[in-house]
C-alpha cells in the first residue's frame, strides 16, 4: 500500500514540482493531492501537468472548519509537505497530523525565521545582516512559524558580489537537491 503525501503551496511551486518529479518514479510513495490558498497559484498548473488532484481553500475553510482535515483523512494522507505555503498551520491540523507536517525555510534557522520571513524578505534580511553564508532548514511544523524541530540544514557561501538573485538561486539549488530526499526519508519511517 503506497504512502500518500499532500503538498501545501501558495505560489509558483518549484519545490512542489521537484517533489512531484521525485515521487513520480516511486513504487511505494505518491503525491496524492496539492492544496493551496491561492486560486491563481502556478502550483495548480504544475499539479495538473502531473495529473495530481488539487484543492483550493479559503481562510474560513482552513481556520474555522475541519473540511481540509476531513479531505486529508478521506484520502488517507500520511504526510503533509509545505512547499512555499505562507499561512500558519491551525492547531486542529497540527493535532491531526502531529509529527507528520514538514516545511522548508530559506535560511539557517533560528536566524531569519518567524512571521513575515519568507522568500525575498528572508534573502534581503540575510544581505542586510552581512551574512557570509546562507542556507536552508527542513523542519517539522508546530503552532508557531519556523519553530518546529529541525530535521536537516544545508549551507552555501555568500560572496561579497552576490546580489539578491544569486542568493535566491544558491538557496533554491539546495532546496531542490535536498527536500525530495529528506521528505522520502521521513515518509519511509511512517507506519501505514
Catalytic residue, chosen from 55, 105, 123, 139, is: 105
| DSSP output for 129-160 | TT-SEEEEEEEE--SSTT-SPEEEEEEEE--T
Half-sphere exposure (CA, 13 Å, Cβ side) for 18? 20
Q: Is there a catalytic annotation at residue 55?
A: no
Spatial separation of the C-alpha atoms in residues 21 and 31, rounded to whole Å: 10
Q: Are 171 and 137 within 8 A, CB to CB?
A: no
For the annotated catalytic residues, the residue numbers are: 105
Amino acid at each position: 500500500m503506497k504512502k500518500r503525501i499532500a503538498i501545501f503551496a501558495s505560489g509558483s511551486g518549484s519545490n512542489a514540482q521537484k517533489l512531484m518529479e521525485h515521487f513520480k518514479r516511486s513504487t511505494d510513495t505518491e503525491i496524492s493531492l496539492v492544496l493551496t490558498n491561492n486560486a491563481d497559484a502556478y502550483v495548480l498548473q504544475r499539479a495538473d501537468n502531473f495529473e495530481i488532484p488539487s484543492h483550493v481553500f479559503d481562510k474560513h475553510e482552513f481556520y474555522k472548519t475541519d473540511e481540509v482535515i476531513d479531505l486529508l483523512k478521506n484520502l488517507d494522507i500520511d504526510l503533509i509537505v509545505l512547499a512555499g505555503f505562507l499561512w500558519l498551520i491551525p492547531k486542529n491540523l497540527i493535532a491531526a497530523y502531529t509529527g507528520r507536517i514538514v516545511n522548508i525555510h530559506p535560511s539557517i534557522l533560528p536566524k531569519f525565521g518567524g512571521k513575515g520571513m519568507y522568500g525575498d524578505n528572508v534573502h534581503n534580511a540575510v544581505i542586510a545582516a552581512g551574512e557570509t553564508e546562507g542556507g536552508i532548514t527542513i523542519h517539522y511544523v508546530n503552532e508557531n512559524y519556523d519553530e518546529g524541530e529541525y530535521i536537516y540544514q544545508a549551507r552555501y557561501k555568500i560572496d561579497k558580489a552576490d546580489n539578491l538573485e544569486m542568493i535566491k538561486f544558491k538557496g533554491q539549488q539546495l532546496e531542490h537537491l535536498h527536500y525530495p530526499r529528506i521528505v522520502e526519508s521521513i515518509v519511509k519511517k511512517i507506519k501505514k
